[in-house]
Amino acid sequence: MKTIPYGRQTIDEEDIQAVVDVLRSDRLTQGPAVEAFEEALAAYCGARYAVACASGTAALHLAYQAAGLGPGDLVMTSPNTFAATGNAALFLGAKPLFADIDPATSNLSPSEIEKTISALQAERGHLKAIVPVHYAGTPCDMESIAKIAERHRLLVIEDGCHALGASYADKKIGGLSDMTVFSFHPVKTITTGEGGAIVTNREDYYQRLKRLRSHGIERTDFLEPSHGAWYHEIQELGYNYRMTDLQAALGRSQLKKVDRFVARRREIAALYHTAFNGNPYFDLPVEAAGSVSSYHLYPIRLKDSFKTQKKEIFRRLREQGLGIQVHYLPVYWHPVYRKMGYRKGLCPAAENFYQREISLPIFPAMTQQEVTYVIETVDRVFRDRA
């Protein structure tokens, strides 16, 4: 039996044709397909602008730089995320400051954010932004986070890599904050192979993001007199973080199906909820009131008596063909962070969550038979260990 992965892409003939069409066209890298994808993405999110780029990690890097983060600055974020959320701050000489999660939602806790800000002393002025991560596709408490940000004059940059298609207070994730970052890696809601984007309502961020994406090249606002029609300037250091038209054509084709993908993810989550409701082995993910999760992941949390058996249970589930995964090792547990002085014990709720969490397979193309197999296998493996 083939392993059922925890997540994977859903590609149809229309997607394939969209990529083939670009291959037959004049432009392969950033061109009309990128622009069309950006327009469609911004419209979907209810935001004014979108800037597509090479990956979610590149999008975080660009967003942080466009926001003006630099050496010595601090960025408040969750330890329960893919490390790139923190790493991108390090790229700029800034430092992530981790606040603990709310055990109920596994998202950044507003009260922990407040506590962490209060504990800052001389560095208080260096804190520039809060980066909420909508873990597993469950939107954070954005109303409380926006209030804290306003009170302390902080930017809000959402890591929405799990949350394309999710909504908060009847608005799609992406239109709420200063900037929101998405990833189009194959396990995410839609894919472009590799790829990412930033959506924003702010014209100044939009212009700077576009410039930084392509070497910082400026073609209009020159500091020196123009030498002629060929002339361009690099006024600030940028990157080659461009998305190709091949990727963007795939992205645009995928975006047409985003609501269908999310609906199918939610259907699978509902089947799991029903099957596992009240089980004695693990707790189920909860969807915060007033929000709609995109169910990027289906994270279960082992109860006390099974926590110590996680390694063995994980091994057995894998042996049975479930391509389960664990999300996430608290970011600051990675040796690269430990070497910078981050200590274990910093965020007890996130550490406890890591020790209990397992992500079950969930992706739109999962068949009914596969869902049933996951449910029966999970039941059997836990029952054997009880």
Instruction: Answer yes or no whether residue 61 interacts with ligand PLP by CB under 6 A.
Output: no
Residue 369 Cβ, how far from ligand PLP at the closest point, in Å?
28
- Between 81 and 320, CB nearer to ligand PLP: 81
- Between 15 and 158, CB nearer to ligand PLP: 158
Instruction: Answer yes or no whether residue 81 interacts with ligand PLP by CB under 6 A.
Output: yes
Among 128, 172, 185, 266, the residue binding ligand PLP under the rule CB under 6 A is 185
Which residues is 108 bridged to in the sheet?
101
Stretch that binds ligand PLP, among 30-38, 115-123, 154-162, 257-265 (CB under 6 A): 154-162
Among 141, 159, 178, 287, the residue binding ligand PLP under the rule CB under 6 A is 159
Q: Are 105 and 137 in contact (CB under 8 A)?
A: no
- Between 109 and 192, CB nearer to ligand PLP: 192
Tokens of 294: 């995109």
Distance CA 24, CA 6 (A): 34
At position 184, the amino acid (one-letter code) is: F
Supply the angle between the helices 245-255 and 13-23 in degrees, to the nearest 10. 150
Residue 126 burial by Cβ neighbours in a 10 Å radius (0-12, 13-18, 19+): middle
Stretch that binds ligand PLP, among 62-70, 156-164, 227-235, 302-310 (CB under 6 A): 156-164
Q: Which of 172, 188, 210, 257 is catalytic?
A: 188
Instruction: Answer yes or no whether residue 294 interacts with ligand PLP by CB under 6 A.
Output: no
Among 57, 105, 107, 201, the residue binding ligand PLP under the rule CB under 6 A is 57
Instruction: Answer yes or no whether residue 84 interacts with ligand PLP by CB under 6 A.
Output: yes
Stretch that binds ligand PLP, among 15-23, 138-146, 155-163, 351-359 (CB under 6 A): 155-163
Distance CA 315, CA 309 (A): 10
User: What DSSP string runs through 236-254?
Assistant: S---B-PPBHHHHHHHHHH
User: What DSSP string runs through 197-222?
Assistant: EEEES-HHHHHHHHHHHBTTEESSS-
3-state secondary structure of 121: coil
Residue 100 Cβ, how far from ligand PLP at the closest point, in Å?
17
Per-residue CA distances from 285 to 62, 106, 126, 293, 326 (Å)? 32, 9, 35, 10, 14
Residue 227 Cβ, how far from ligand PLP at the closest point, in Å?
38
- Between 82 and 306, CB nearer to ligand PLP: 82
Q: Are 210 and 198 in contact (CB under 8 A)?
A: no
Helices (H), 67-196: 84-91, 110-119, 142-151
- Between 252 and 382, CB nearer to ligand PLP: 252
Instruction: Answer yes or no whether residue 196 interacts with ligand PLP by CB under 6 A.
Output: yes
Instruction: Answer yes or no whether residue 162 interacts with ligand PLP by CB under 6 A.
Output: yes
* Torsion angle (degrees, nearest 10) of CA 20, 21, 23, 28: -130
Site string for ligand PLP, 105-124 (x = CB under 6 A): --------------------
Instruction: Answer yes or no whether residue 85 interacts with ligand PLP by CB under 6 A.
Output: yes
Instruction: Answer yes or no whether residue 320 interacts with ligand PLP by CB under 6 A.
Output: no
Q: Are 61 and 90 in contact (CB under 8 A)?
A: no
Q: Clarify whether 188 is annotated catalytic.
A: yes
Catalytic residues: 188
Binding stretches for ligand PLP (CB under 6 A) = 55-57, 81-82, 84-85, 133, 159, 161-162, 183, 185, 196
